[in-house]
Amino acid sequence: MTTGFYTHADCALHEMGADHPECPQRLAAIEDRLIAAQIAPWLERHDDAPFASLEALERAHSALYVADLKQRGDFTEGHEWIDADTLMNPHTWQAALRAAGTAISATDAVIDGHLHNAFCAIRPPGHHATRDQAMGFCFFGNVAVAARHALDVRGLERVAIVDFDVHHGNGTQDIFRGDARVLMVSFFQHPFYPYSGAEGNQSNMLNVPVPAYTRGDVVRRIVTEQWLPRLREFAPQMLFISAGFDAHREDDMGQMGLVEDDYAWITRQLVDFAEAQCEGRIVSCLEGGYNLSALGRSVAEHVRVLAGLDG
């Protein structure tokens, strides 16, 4: 089993101010923990993914939105406010293109059989970016762009997106609402930002809202009793994971109670499913996770299972 670790130096150039929780240090915390846990040597590292093309972005986002964001990102110093908690700096456009391009590159490698699965340590994150709006620290839906690439360019017929962030992936839902080729399953704290996802499921969405202080035993039942039966019924040819780690009990961005063992367990269920159903194909992309220690530890357990080092 070969697991790819994808990242790019450009992803650390985007920053939204000294006190902003979605910071470049998140990527350093992940890399440091993978080294400390002796996982890094087992991964096939990729640091050179290309930029996503405008055509690739426009499979998930409107051309008008992409053009507007490109124009807004053309400045040389300071920050440009996008919404109340999302800012651009002069490198944001470059970083966002690189993050989406990295997800596409990992997708190609997995589909081509060069890798069994892959984890993308990329930022800015993506699952709040709707078809025509940046929000919630997100500019382009990295997972959505990669999933559309798998479908529209690489010819897959069905893919599933698993989202385990503490926040609902409203952008992913907006992009794929009603698309019969895509199944999205998620859990998220509710009521909580972005205050969506609990209004009723569409035919291709299985969103499971949970209250604050929900712990791992409840989440494990959701995976076993709701996610996995729906995934088996859908029979995807590939899994994409929006991997958010802000549901950890140490993360102040949410009020859920997961720990590293819960993320490892969830990942094991998804790996086992992918092995049985879709040739093991998984591409996982970083979303949330803002307590640097908890983030590093949780990602390490996630990647340990992807790489088959948990046995």
Residues recognised as catalytic: 128
Angstrom distances, CA of residue 82 to CA of 59, 68, 244: 22, 11, 22
Angstrom distances, CA of residue 16 to CA of 149, 166, 196, 233: 29, 21, 25, 42
For strands 117-120 and 44-46, give the pairing. unpaired
The β-bridge partners of 163 are 186, 242
Q: How far apart are CA 300 and CA 311, in angstroms?
A: 15
The answer to whether the beta carbons of residues 117 and 106 sit under 8 Å apart is no
Residue 132: HSE in the Cβ half-sphere, 13 Å Cα cutoff: 4
Query: Which residue carries 């391009």 as its tokens?
Result: 101
